[in-house]
Amino acid sequence: MTRRATLSTIALGIACSPILCCWITFASCCCPRRLRSHGGSEDKRRFEKRQAMAPRPLPVRPPERAVTIRNRSENDASELESKELRGMVLDQSASKLMQLPLELRQLIYRAAIGDSVMHMVLKKHKLGYIRCKDPTATDCSLEYSRCFSRNTWSAFAEIPDEPPPTDGDVLPLLLTCRQIYSEAVDFVYSTNTFAFADLDCLRYFSSTILPHRWSLVQKLDIEWCVSWPIYDSLAQTVLISRPALYPPHDEATWEGTWRIISEMKNLRSLRVTLMYFDVFRDSSCEERLLAPLRQVTLPNKFDVHLRWPGKEITDGPFRAFRPATREADNSSEEWV
Give the predicted TM-score (pTM) of the model: 0.76
pLDDT computed for residue 57 by the predictor: 75
Pairing of strands 126-131, 269-275: unpaired
* pLDDT recorded at residue 35: 37
Span 9-29, pLDDT tens digits? 666 666 666 665 565 554 444
What's the pLDDT at 41? 77
The residue ranges of every structural domain in the chain are 90-336
Least confident of 58-67, 240-249, 313-322: 58-67
Stretch 221-228: mean pLDDT = 93
pLDDT of 125 above 70: yes
Whole-number CA gyration radius for the chain = 27
How confident is the model over 78-109, as pLDDT tens digits? 444 444 445 567 777 788 998 999 999 999 99
Measured CA to CA, the distance from residue 115 to residue 136 in angstroms comes to 9
- Predicted pLDDT at 152: 46
CA distance 37 to 29: 14
Closest CA to 117 of 140, 145, 85: 140
Lowest mean pLDDT among 157-161, 227-231, 243-247: 157-161
Tens-digit pLDDT profile for residues 296-312: 999 999 999 999 988 89
Q: pLDDT > 90: what percent of the chain?
A: 40
pLDDT for 203 beyond 80: yes
What is the C-alpha separation between 320 and 334, in angstroms, rounded? Answer: 18
- State the Cα–Cα distance between residues 185 and 214, nearest whole angstrom: 12
Question: Residue 281: what pLDDT?
Answer: 77
Q: What is the pLDDT of residues 247-280, one digit of tens each?
A: 999 999 999 999 999 999 999 999 999 998 877 7
**Average per-residue pLDDT for the chain:** 78
- pLDDT tens profile 157-185: 555 555 556 677 888 899 888 889 999 99
In the chain, the percentage of residues whose pLDDT exceeds 70 is 67
3-state secondary structure the chain: CHHHHHHHHHHHHHHHHHHHHHHHHHHHHHCHHHHCCHHHHHHHHHHHHHHHCCCCCCCCCCHHHCCCCCCCCCCCCCHHHHHHHHCCCCCCCCCCCCCCCHHHHHHHHHHHHCCCEEEEEEECCEEEEEECCCCCCCCCCHHHCCCCCHHHHCCCCCCCCCCCCCCCCCHHHHCCCHHHHHHHHHHHHHHCEEEECCHHHHHHHHHHCCHHHHCCCCEEEEEEECCCCCCCHHHHHHCCCCCCCCCCCCHHHHHHHHHHHHCCCCCCEEEEEEECCCCCCCHHHHHHHHHHHHHCCCCCEEEEEECCCCCCCCCCCCEEECCCCCCCCCCCCCCC
Strand partners, 219: 193, 269
C-alpha 97/C-alpha 188 separation (Å) is 19
Residue 170 has a pLDDT of: 86
**β-pair partners for 138:** none
Q: Are 314 and 290 in contact (CB under 8 A)?
A: no
268 vs 137: CA distance, rounded Å:
15
pLDDT score for 121:
87
Rounded CA separation 193/136 (Å): 8
> What are the φ and ψ backbone dihedral angles of 196, each rounded to 5 degrees?
-130, 135
Would you state the pLDDT for residue 144? 52
